[in-house]
Structure formats: structure tokens, C-alpha cells
Copies of this chain bind each other. A is one copy, B any other.
Amino acid sequence: MIIDCHGHFTTAPPALATWRERQIRAFEDSGARISPDELHITDEEIRTAIENAQLKLQRERGTDLTIFSPGAGKMAHHYGDVHTSLVWSQVSNNLIARVRDLFPDRFAAACQLPQSPGDALASSIRHSAEELERCVIDLGFVGCLLNPDPSDGYWQAPPLTDRVYYPLYEKMVELDVPAMIHVAMSRNPAIQGTCAHYLNGDTTTFMQLCESNLFTDFPTLRLILPHGGGAVPYHWGRYRGMMLDRGRPPLEEAVLRNVFFDTCVYHKPGLQLLTDTIPAHNILFASEMIGAVRSTDPETGRRFDDVKATLDTINTINKTDRQAIYGDNALRVFPRLESVLSTTKQEVAR
């Protein structure tokens, strides 16, 4: 079974974006709220949005299951207040649950969290723990997205290792679900989103983890760094040396028991470096389709985000490691996948 651990609902029916724009505008204009009941999306619209896009590509590429979450950039946590983010998260997550219900053998669900920047950070993290519990317990989700910069491009929050985040980590540990660390949009004109802020978010978070003892406090906490870990594997020697300079334990001990890298790297030398440098145990297959890059590579004739096709050409990965990267690791990092999948199988059999 080939599990793609990183997909967002970037093709959601346009009614979703319209509702969100109305929500933001109403709050900014007069502090008014828009009810989730004003959003109308039919099952047919969802089916169309998925069948012509993610599902089509899954079939073409031979991948089986995607861990599916709301559009990451569209989380846009800086808008409105705590209530704005809470309702937007519920709306987005409920839509992901509907996708999963329509295609239960093709998608598992991960939720966005109702984070907010500035003074609202602490209360937004308590709301995040509650929304995570609702999604996991009531809706059968298997993971979440955690944004290290809810200010969306200005890095106004403390590091993710700060105690303000601990109520969320306690809930994650209790529910046994991991978080993918994923920034949202950038509203900073100096920092573009998908090709700068996204990668910087991964790099910045890794260094926060290297400097902290978060995993001493939460030995079973599991975090996934997307986009191949930003700049990290390319600069693995820099991080190894920095840990030695500081008299810290080796990365294997300090970080790699808890941190995983996905494979969203869109050329062969990059995937070669990732798999040469990071232990296979710590790599999760992912393509982030349909996402940041949508073109076809004229050099290969395939889309840049067809990571599986490129990974398949790397012959330095042995069979066991390949199986770990393609699925076994995901089953370990997302333990709730197992029961979700067995329920689905029973339902399909009935």
C-alpha cells in the first residue's frame, strides 16, 4: 500500500473560498459573523472536484491513499480573531470529513487548527486542542497541520517549543496523532509563499527543535516536516556540526526519534540527497498533489509533483527501505490509520 502523507484540498468547490471571503470581510467591516450554515456544497460538487483531480492522479500514478487536509495557504491564521479561526477550521475540517466519507478507501483526514497570532495565541492553542479532539474522536481524523507562524510571514509567535503550545502537544500525545508542521500563506511582500515561506517554515522549525528539549517532555510526540524538510537535509552537515559545537546530543538522538521528513522534492538529485542523508525510517512518501507546482517537466515528460515516478528511478533504496518510505512508516507515524483502514475494508466487504 502506497500512502501519500501530504495532500491538501486545493481543488475545493469555489463556494468555500466565497464563504471565507465573506467571513473575513464581514468581520473586518463590522465585526459581524457569517454562519457556517450559509455554505452550501453538494456531494456531487465534491465528487467532481476530487475525481477529476486527486483521484485521477492517484490512479495514474499507482498511489493508494492520501492523508488529506484543508488547503494550507488558505488556513491564513492572521485574519480576524480567535472565533474567526475556530469557525473557519470547523468549516474546512468538516469538508475534509465529507471527502473522506465519499472516498473512504482513497483518503484519510488531517485537520487544520484554529490558531491565531499575537495576544490570542494561548487561547487559540486551547481551542486547537479542542478542535483536534473533535476531529479525531468525532470525525475519525488521523493527524493535524500545525502552523509555526500564525502571523503569516512575520514570525511574531514564540518558537513551537514554547510552553504555550504544550496543551496541544498533551492532546496530540493523548490521542496518539502526529502533526505536520506547515506554514500557511505569507502576507509579507518580501517572502513569497510556496517557494520561500513554506521552505523557511520547515528549516526554522527544525532548528527550534534542535535547540530545545521538547522531546524530553514529550517522548512520543511525532512531527512531520514537509517539503523534504526545507533546507535541512541539504545542510545536514551544518546541523550535525552545530549540535557538536553546542555539546548537544547527536541529531539521531535529539530529533530523529520524533521528527519525520516527507518526500515533496521535485527533482531526482534532491530525492537522491534526501534518501542518502536521512534514515529511511524517518522518510514518509508524499507528493503534495495538487499543490505548489503543477507543470509538466519538459525533461521527463511527467509532472514535477509525480514524486513516485522519480523515487522509483532511484536504485540506491533497498526493498525494505522503499516499503518503509512508501507506507510502513506512515502506518507507524499515524497509528490511527490502521483502524480507519480496517473499518473501511469491513465496510467495503459488506
Contact = CB atoms under 8 A, between A and B. Distances in A.
A203 B199 contact: yes
Contact of A227 (B190, B228, B235, B304): B235
Interface string A175-216: 000000000000011111011100110011011101100000
Interface residues of A, number: 59
Given A204-B196, A266-B235, A277-B269, A188 B155 contact: yes
A174 interface: no
Nearest to A294: B245
Contacts of A297: 237, 240-241
Contacts of A196: 200, 203-204, 206-208
A328 interface: no
A210 B206 CA distance: 26
Interface string A238-274: 1111101100000000000000000001110110110
A203 B204 CA distance: 12
A294 B239 CA distance: 11
Contacts of A273: 234, 269-270, 272-273
Copies of this chain in the oligomer: 2
B270 A237 contact: yes
A165 to B, nearest CB: 12
B238 A159 contact: no
20 contacts: A149-B190, A157-B190, A158-B190, A190-B204, A190-B208, A195-B242, A196-B206, A196-B207, A199-B230, A199-B235, A200-B200, A200-B231, A227-B235, A234-B234, A234-B273, A235-B266, A237-B270, A240-B304, A241-B295, A241-B305
